[in-house]
Amino acid sequence: MILVVGAGFSGATIANLLADKADEKVLIIDKNSHIGGSCYDYRDKNGIMIHAYGSHIFHTNSQKVWDYLKQFTDFNTYMHKVIGIIDGIETHIPFNFNSLYDVFPQSYAELLEHKLLDNFNINTKVPILQFQQQDDDDLKYLANYVYDKIFYHYTTKQWGVSPVDVDDDVTGRIPVYLSKDNRYFQDRYQGIPLNGYTTVIKNMLNHKNIKVKLNTNFSTLDLKKFDKIFFTGSIDEFFGYKFGQLPYRSVKFKLETHNKEFYQSNSVVNYPCNYDFTRIHEFKYYLDDKSDKTVIAKEYAEHFELGKNERYYPIPTDETAELYHKYLYEAEKLKKVYFLGRLGDYKYYNMDGAIARAIEIFESL
């Protein structure tokens, strides 16, 4: 019998592969009362599919991951766009050529566009901190404008520290995009599962060799009786926090129902400079749900506190990397335990990355 801890995409993928391809008997457990992990969604009384832990948009360039997931679901052709409110003006995030014309007078926007094309290649993404390294006065002004209006305040709210204290891997995800492509992702495959993410994972776990137990903590089981263990929980928790807790950022969502067809003009609207929340999600956009009401979620970032909230984002710093590698060294001593997922690997994965990692581990066995 094989134990899989965690019924999100990482756990569901490894469980499915072990059961289906290797004909192994698998017990998959989750401490929550539902499968799906942070991708858990459900239809509310208004018929709207709610993403319980914030918006999840599937996107990938991996043919292998796409073909694997297509066994369990069909997708719509939703392509994600993000709107940001800058000085009361709605514009596109990441900041692109169209954003220039939204926030600046046309003559100045044209000047900036020409200078950008003289200095950068079309359809490239330039990390904001690199973009600030300009000699031209107009481009330097633009770089400082984008940094202040979009990057600085949003990053401070999201991570709870000044942007200078945030790892380059994070800042690199907030670029200036030299394009008129308003999509947030440029991956070949994008979309939302037609029946939701929870149904996808339910289909993945619907196998004669898989047993699912919810409301179950791994610490309550006799781990010695399992031939192998695949652990998608937090690696520091597995080892009893012997070296200390790995830090995370957490998120809370305030759901609101409004008696109108739509609350905002887009599925996600960012508020970099205003209010305490970082963004507002409006869920009915994803599957084109029809209702005379709408449900939104205001998202607030906060520090993770054990027993109070959930782990969301690993905090990448030199210190946390050093702490994680202490746990990784302990993990490498174990003969039959494998760690994966965002918490197990202490790494920010998108959904396709989590699935690819699980496939990789299975193929390596």
Q: What is the pLDDT of residue 175?
A: 85
Q: Looking at the structure, tell me whether residues 104 and 168 fall in a common domain.
A: yes
Is residue 327 predicted with pLDDT exceeding 70? yes
Is residue 168 predicted with pLDDT exceeding 70? no
Q: What is the pLDDT of residue 170?
A: 66
Q: Looking at the structure, tell me whether residues 110 and 157 fall in a common domain.
A: yes
**Which helix or strand (DSSP H or E) is residue 158 part of?**
helix 153-159
Which of 102, 94, 145, 152 lies closest to 123 in space, CA to CA? 94
Q: Looking at the structure, tell me whether residues 156 and 93 fall in a common domain.
A: yes
For residue 286, tell me if it sits in a domain.
no
Provide the token pair at 161: 């520290």
Which of 219, 265, 240, 269 lies closest to 83 in space, CA to CA? 269
Q: What is the pLDDT of residue 295?
A: 98
Please, are residues 95 and 176 in contact by the beta-carbon 8 Å criterion? yes
Q: What is the pLDDT of residue 144?
A: 92
Q: Looking at the structure, tell me whether residues 326 and 347 fall in a common domain.
A: yes
For residue 101, tell me if it sits in a domain.
yes
Q: Looking at the structure, tell me whether residues 218 and 352 fall in a common domain.
A: yes
State CA 302 to chain mean position distance: 16
- Mean pLDDT, range 229-243, rounded to an integer: 97
Q: What is the pLDDT of residue 128?
A: 82
- Mean pLDDT, range 303-324, rounded to an integer: 93
Confidence of residue 171 (pLDDT cuts 50, 70, 90): low
Which residue bears the tokens 């009361």?
88
- Mean pLDDT, range 337-350, rounded to an integer: 96
The whole-chain average pLDDT of the chain stands at 95
Please give the residue that has the higher pLDDT: either 128 or 35.
Answer: 35
Cα separation, 315 vs 297, in Å, equals 24
Among the residue ranges 55-64, 135-144, 161-170, 258-267, the one predicted with the least confidence is 161-170
For residue 307, tell me if it sits in a domain.
no
State CA 168 to chain mean position distance: 17
For residue 258, tell me if it sits in a domain.
no
| Domain stops at, among 127, 144, 177 | 177
For residue 21, tell me if it sits in a domain.
yes
- Mean pLDDT, range 152-159, rounded to an integer: 89
Please give the residue that has the higher pLDDT: either 131 or 304.
Answer: 304
Please give the residue that has the higher pLDDT: either 134 or 114.
Answer: 114
Please, are residues 278 and 301 in contact by the beta-carbon 8 Å criterion? yes
For residue 250, tell me if it sits in a domain.
no
Q: Looking at the structure, tell me whether residues 173 and 198 fall in a common domain.
A: no
Domain that holds residue 161: 82-177
Number of domains in the chain: 2
What size, in residues, is the chain? 365
| Domain stops at, among 118, 146, 177 | 177
Q: What is the pLDDT of residue 123?
A: 95
Confidence of residue 159 (pLDDT cuts 50, 70, 90): confident
| Domain stops at, among 143, 177, 211 | 177
Q: Looking at the structure, tell me whether residues 350 and 213 fall in a common domain.
A: yes
Cα separation, 274 vs 159, in Å, equals 16
Q: What is the pLDDT of residue 160?
A: 83
pLDDT tens, residue by residue, 250-298? 999 999 999 999 999 999 999 999 999 999 999 999 999 999 999 999 9
Please give the residue that has the higher pLDDT: either 181 or 166.
Answer: 181
Among the residue ranges 8-12, 158-162, 296-300, the one predicted with the least confidence is 158-162
Q: What is the pLDDT of residue 173?
A: 60
| Other CB atoms within 10 Å distance of the CB of residue 325 | 12
Is residue 228 predicted with pLDDT exceeding 90? yes
Q: Looking at the structure, tell me whether residues 68 and 89 fall in a common domain.
A: no
Q: Looking at the structure, tell me whether residues 92 and 168 fall in a common domain.
A: yes
Cα separation, 37 vs 53, in Å, equals 9
State CA 251 to chain mean position distance: 12
Q: Looking at the structure, tell me whether residues 234 and 109 fall in a common domain.
A: no
Q: What is the pLDDT of residue 169?
A: 66
Cα separation, 27 vs 212, in Å, equals 6
For residue 272, tell me if it sits in a domain.
no
Percent of the chain scored above 70 by pLDDT? 97
CATH number at residue 28: 3.40.50.720
Q: What is the pLDDT of residue 71?
A: 97
Q: Looking at the structure, tell me whether residues 222 and 112 fall in a common domain.
A: no
Which residue bears the tokens 């996600």?
268
For residue 277, tell me if it sits in a domain.
no
Q: Looking at the structure, tell me whether residues 91 and 61 fall in a common domain.
A: no
